Amino acid sequence: MTALSVNLNKIALLRNSRGHDEPNVVAFAKKFIDLGVTGITIHPRPDERHITRQDAIDLGNLIAPLKGIELNIEGYPSEEFLQLIEAVKPDQTTLVPDLPGQLTSDHGFDFNTQAEFLAPILSRLKQTGTRISVFLDPDLEQVKMAAKSDADRIELYTEEYARTFISADHDEVHQRYQAAALLAQELGLAVNGGHDLNLNNLKKFVSIPGILEVSIGHALIIECLEQGMNSVVEQYLAICQHSA
């Protein structure tokens, strides 16, 4: 079974557009948890254009005492971000190579050029007790290098998988994701996935053996607007429960 972690960034973006606390991020986290979701993801950025530091603290306080529910905080490992992780101590920290002001994630880490940068960061995060996941493209050489680091998991960046889903070359793309996932597991890394996954393309992705978690936000929130939260979450959980 694959765990579903709902990314709340778009809830926070909608709230921030009016300058008050509606919709409330913690209240929506509770709604998703009550519907059976076992993970909440947030990706705070330096300009706090959606998720804020206070949101991270509030969600940490909500989720810490809840058995079987995990908080995943994603982000670029700046000093400010690392201090936030040390304060909140989420169940999982996902490191993403976003630049300040970047609209959204668009690539994984390159261990050829960034392994030395990541090494002390991973060592520091280990001291917090958080599980560490590193955002990665489905590249076998990158997987091999990630396995030599202190990371516990990789999160496969699935934009290409989603973008090519209805194209003629999708089977080849899918095979690359599967090969990366299987190699990671052989080398001792657990595997997550995220970015542009939705109700249409998720089933095939989680047919890859061993995908432990998917993080989904943008598409899921749109689908909730179109179909309603209860129906959408029920559909996602059904797909995840029948994963490989």
Can 107 be counted among the known catalytic residues?
A: no
Q: Is 45 annotated as a binding residue?
A: yes
Q: Where are the alpha helices (DSSP H) in the chain?
A: 9-16, 25-34, 53-63, 79-88, 111-126, 140-147, 159-163, 170-186, 202-205, 218-227, 229-241
Does 228 show up as a binding residue in the annotation? no
Options 155, 174, 195, 223, the catalytic residue: 195
Q: How far is CA 73 from CA 9, 14, 81, 84, in A?
A: 11, 19, 9, 9
Contact 37, 46 (CB under 8 A): no
The response to whether 55 counts as a known ligand-binding position is no
Strand partners of residue 41: 7, 72
The reply to whether 104 sits in an annotated binding site is yes
Contacts of 89 (CB under 8 A, 6+ apart): 60, 64, 128, 129, 130
| 174 annotated to bind ligand | no
In 3D space, the residue among 89, 94, 98 whose CA is nearest the CA of residue 45 turns out to be 98
170 is catalytic: no
- Which of 20, 48, 70, 74 is an active site residue? 74
Is 131 labeled as ligand-binding?
no
SS3 content of the chain, % helix, strand, coil (to 5): 45, 15, 35
Identify the residue whose tokens are 């209860």: 230
Is position 18 annotated in a ligand binding site?
yes
70 tagged catalytic: no
Residue 50 is labelled as binding a ligand:
yes
Binding-site residue positions for 1-deoxy-D-xylulose 5-phosphate: 45, 50, 104
| Residues tagged active-site | 43, 74, 195
Annotated binding site: 7, 18, 45, 50, 104, 196, 217-218
Annotated binding-site positions for 3-amino-2-oxopropyl phosphate: 7, 18, 196, 217-218
